[in-house]
Amino acid sequence: MQTNLGRRAALLGAAGAASAFAIGGRAFAQTQPLVFGALPPLTGAGGPYGPAMLRAAQGVVEAANSAGGVKGRQIRLAFEDDQTNPDAGVRGARKLIDVDRVQALMGTWASSVTTAVAPLCWENRVPLFTVSGADSITLLPHQGHIFRTQPNSRLQITTGSNWLIAKGAKRVFHIAAQSPFAQSSQEVMTERFSAAGGSVVGFIIYESNKTAFRSEVDQIMRARPDTVVLNGYRPDVTILLRELFRAGYDGRRFTFAYAAPPAIFESLPNEVTNGLTTFQPSPDLNSTAFNRLKASFGSTDVDPYSAQVHDHASLAILAAAKAAEATGTGIRDAVRSICQGDGTKVDNVTDGLKLIAAGQAVNFEGASGPCEFDERGDIRGTKFRYDVAEGGRYRMLELA
């Protein structure tokens, strides 16, 4: 069941309005669907990931509805495209919260979008499940309404810096798109390389809508780094890789996997991309949940964000089933009780719903791995994957 109920369903909803009851200032009918919202980047810089993220959430909703839904209520997934843009994200979130009356929101990708959307969520008591990494997000006064399955920027940059140091990097140049992620990344990188006897020999923050980086590449070449960390998005990283190649840079190029997805090989010749190293938080590649999602996707790759949004939907649904009342507040308060503790381990929403209905405790571990959150709502840990570009494709170097 997706965004529009249709005329017949709307009439049925109107007929049942007399049985509505109020919870937390919001009215519901016991026979009406339980509505969740998705706000993925279907277009913009996150466009390569958004459609698969939405598909993952839809699959979980379909499985839950086939199992009878939540306490007899079917689930409807409403969604909007955040366009990888904060303004569009706010418009989409307002529509989902005010019109669709969602009880939880999932799937925001860019940190700038999540930062803009988060106040709407906590003000309306709607939990927000996100894959954004900026440290600042969970430092917001969200009153427990944010759950982040993506490692925060400190953990990501610490892990990436330690890996580079272990590979012999000494002189690093950091070039980053203007984002909440940039400054905190620089601080952590400087801290780690200084402690290891290296240094960050240059740092540039640029506007992501640039179409050329000649002056920035000149600065990089003058600094003579052995490694360039490209902390941006696919459009600008594509340009930077081309201009670094033309300038004759032959050192290590290191970037986030979302900034150089496999589709980048369609835009650049192999001689430009060969040797590029990417890293990313990795799903649990050996888990039943991941392999089940992979099978359902067929020829479409399961990226880390799709795996995480699969788990967002599962967490929201199982928390709603566990809560005394399937409201935003109830879901917020029940999340940790269904993914942390000594309950029976489950890796899918169907088994989880059955156990919760039988009064049993569950511990959900999904396609992205264990979902344990600290007091701020940050995921406690995950594995990271490193790949190198060779001949127009990626080869995995390490999973650690």
Same domain, 162 and 93: no
Q: Is residue 237 assigned to a domain?
A: yes
Q: Is residue 1 assigned to a domain?
A: no
Same domain, 124 and 28: yes
Q: Is residue 34 assigned to a domain?
A: yes
Cα 186 to Cα 400: distance, rounded to the nearest angstrom: 23
Same domain, 180 and 238: yes
Q: Is residue 262 assigned to a domain?
A: yes
Same domain, 255 and 388: yes
User: Could you count the other beta carbons within 10 Å of the beta carbon of residue 321?
Assistant: 25
The pLDDT profile of the chain, 400 residues, written as one tens digit per residue, is 344 333 333 333 333 333 333 434 444 445 789 999 999 999 998 999 999 999 999 999 999 999 999 999 999 999 999 999 999 999 999 999 999 999 999 999 999 999 999 999 999 999 999 999 888 999 999 999 999 999 998 999 999 999 999 999 999 999 999 987 888 899 999 999 999 999 999 999 998 788 899 999 999 999 999 999 999 999 999 999 999 999 999 999 999 999 999 999 999 999 999 999 999 999 989 899 999 999 999 988 899 999 999 999 999 999 999 999 999 999 999 999 999 989 999 999 999 999 999 999 999 999 999 999 999 999 988 889 999 999 999 999 999 8
Q: Provide the residue range defining the domain that includes 300.
A: 6-152+285-370
Residue 30: the pLDDT is 54
Same domain, 315 and 273: no
Q: Is residue 16 assigned to a domain?
A: yes
- Token code pair at residue 82: 């955040």
Cα 320 to Cα 124: distance, rounded to the nearest angstrom: 17
Same domain, 16 and 104: yes
Q: Is residue 376 assigned to a domain?
A: no
Q: Is residue 342 assigned to a domain?
A: yes
Same domain, 135 and 210: no
Same domain, 207 and 76: no
Q: Is residue 138 assigned to a domain?
A: yes
Cβ distance 227 to 252 under 8 Å? yes
Tally of domains in the chain: 2
Same domain, 364 and 293: yes
Cα 397 to Cα 116: distance, rounded to the nearest angstrom: 36
Same domain, 118 and 14: yes
Which DSSP string do the residues of 7-72 spell out, in sequence order?
A: HHHHHHHHHGGGG-EEETTEEE-TTSPEEEEE---SSSTTTTTHHHHHHHHHHHHHHHHHTT-BTT
Same domain, 198 and 295: no
Same domain, 163 and 277: yes
The residues, ordered by sequence, that sit 6+ positions from 324 with a Cβ below 8 Å of its Cβ are: 330
Cβ distance 173 to 228 under 8 Å? yes
Residue 22, burial from CB neighbour count under 10 angstroms (0-12, 13-18, 19+) = exposed
CATH number of the domain enclosing 19: 3.40.50.2300
Cα 284 to Cα 281: distance, rounded to the nearest angstrom: 10
Q: For the chain, where are the alpha helices, taking DSSP H only?
A: 6-15, 50-66, 86-94, 111-123, 136-139, 153-166, 180-195, 214-223, 234-246, 270-273, 288-297, 304-322, 328-339, 349-357
